[in-house]
């Protein structure tokens, strides 16, 4: 059923100038108030749209993000957090999404869209601090994440620890379904979390990144690696080397198509490697978000009571993957 709501067009001169008899005064007041009126009207329209989304059952788009703040080693940190309405009473998956160098938490939310595709999950987009880049921005003028253990006094690992601790305290986090994804520098930080906090996670999904120096510290775990074969920044040969190391260490078999666009390398030790290769350069590719959520939903941690592959898919992912997006 389609629900249509019409908001009548009202003249700002009439609205704001009632009771002002002098036309000149009315004209001046109308001019000064028009911009304010337009802003108010846009705000009302946005509220109405959000209400309609909620009434029609679009939970993913109607839930409001929260900007949450922490203090870590005396430094103010923040993250954009999306919460299911029943997060305090029902066990919920937890997904972390990390922006690339120079990015932001709001940009990560728009790029990864995990909160839209998996509204039953707690989704956290953390904000990085100014950090010297490994391939760009050596002066450290833009936001990013530490690259290795000990870098930047481990400020970002400590930030992650504090966010996870506080969410576990306040909400019912399902410890069998904690995941991380990130692009570029954020993908590198996902690899670092795998190396340093690997026991926390059920599966990982780095994009446009490589972490050769961490290879010996990555315990076998389901991983989706997203790469551009024509990536001019994090070269594909570097990423392929990383993928080959993972396939070897995780005893992977020959690849087979997965979800139409990706390749699945099954593993007898329950640590499959999935690759999504595109020709979209160094960008987070179209359709990667849907595949990432599907991959996470298929891979709760193996020591949980729930068998691998039994996690229910959200409606958004079921629809998008069935359409071949």
- Report pLDDT digits (tens) over 174-187: 999 999 999 999 99
Domain that holds residue 42: 12-55
80 and 37 within one domain: no
158 shares its domain with 19: no
Confirm whether 153 is domain-assigned.
Answer: yes
DSSP percent split of the chain into helix, strand, coil, nearest 5:
40, 20, 40
Phi, psi dihedral angles at 75 (to 5 degrees): -110, 130
| pLDDT above 70 (res 29) | no
Structure tokens at 55: 């009434």
Q: What is the dihedral of CA 206, 166, 115, 160, to 10 degrees?
A: -20
Q: Are 107 and 66 in contact (CB under 8 A)?
A: no
Q: How many CA atoms lie within 13 A of 75 on its CB side?
A: 15
How far is it, in rounded angstroms, from Cα 58 to Cα 49? 11
User: pLDDT for 214-242, tens place per residue?
Assistant: 999 999 999 999 999 999 999 999 999 99
Give the dihedral of Cα atoms 159, 144, 272, 275; nearest 10 deg: 160
User: Do 159 and 34 belong to one domain?
Assistant: no
Give domain status of residue 175, yes or no: yes
H or E element at residue 48 = helix 23-55
Q: Are 182 and 99 in contact (CB under 8 A)?
A: yes
Considering the domain architecture, whether residues 51 and 95 belong to the same structural domain is answered as: no
What residue has token string 């601790």? Answer: 165
What's 311's DSSP letter? S
Q: For the domain that residue 99 is a member of, what is the CATH number?
A: 3.40.50.1820
Residue 25, pLDDT score: 38
pTM of the model: 0.77
Judge whether residue 69 has pLDDT over 80: yes
How many distinct structural domains can be found in the chain? 2
One domain, residues 84 and 50: no
Does residue 5 form part of some domain? Answer: no
φ, ψ for residue 41 (rounded to 5)?
-65, -40
- Mean pLDDT of the 74-94 span: 97
Residue 1 lies in a domain: no
- For residue 287, tell me if it sits in a domain: yes
d(CA 201, CA 213): 20
Q: Are 195 and 221 in contact (CB under 8 A)?
A: no
My answer on whether 45 and 91 are in the same domain is no
Residues 205 and 117 in one domain: yes
Same-domain status, 43 and 81: no
For residue 325, what pLDDT is reported? 40
Same domain, 264 and 313: yes
Same-domain status, 214 and 302: yes
């Amino acid at each position: 059923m389609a629900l249509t709501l019409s908001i009548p067009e009202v003249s700002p001169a009439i609205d704001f100038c009632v009771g002002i008899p002098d036309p000149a005064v009315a004209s001046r007041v109308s001019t000064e108030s028009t911009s304010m009126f337009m802003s108010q009207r846009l705000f009302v329209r946005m509220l109405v749209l959000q209400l309609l989304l909620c009434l029609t059952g679009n939970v993913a788009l109607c839930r409001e993000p929260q900007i949450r703040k922490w203090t870590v080693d005396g430094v103010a940190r923040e993250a954009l957090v999306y919460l299911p309405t029943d997060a305090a009473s029902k066990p919920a998956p937890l997904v972390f999404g990390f922006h690339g160098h120079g990015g932001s938490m709001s940009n990560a939310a728009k790029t990864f869209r995990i909160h839209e595709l998996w509204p039953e999950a707690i989704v956290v987009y953390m904000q990085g601090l100014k950090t010297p880049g490994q391939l760009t921005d050596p002066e450290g003028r833009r936001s990013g994440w530490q690259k290795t253990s000990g870098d930047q006094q481990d400020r970002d690992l400590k930030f992650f620890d504090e966010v996870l601790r506080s969410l576990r305290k306040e909400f019912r986090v399902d410890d069998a379904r904690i995941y991380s994804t990130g692009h570029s520098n954020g993908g590198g930080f996902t690899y670092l979390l795998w190396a340093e906090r690997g026991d926390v996670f059920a599966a990982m999904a780095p994009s446009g990144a490589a972490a050769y120096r961490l290879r010996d510290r990555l315990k076998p775990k389901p991983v989706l690696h997203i790469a551009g074969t024509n990536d001019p920044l994090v070269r594909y040969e570097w990423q392929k080397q990383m993928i080959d190391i993972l396939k070897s260490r995780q005893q992977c078999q020959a690849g087979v198509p997965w979800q139409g666009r990706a390749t699945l390398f099954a593993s007898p030790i329950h640590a499959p490697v999935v690759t999504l290769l595109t020709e979209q350069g160094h960008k987070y590719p179209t359709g990667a978000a849907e595949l990432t959520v599907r991959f996470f939903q298929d891979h709760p941690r193996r020591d949980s009571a729930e068998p691998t592959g039994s996690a229910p898919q959200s409606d958004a992912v079921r629809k998008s993957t069935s359409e071949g997006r």
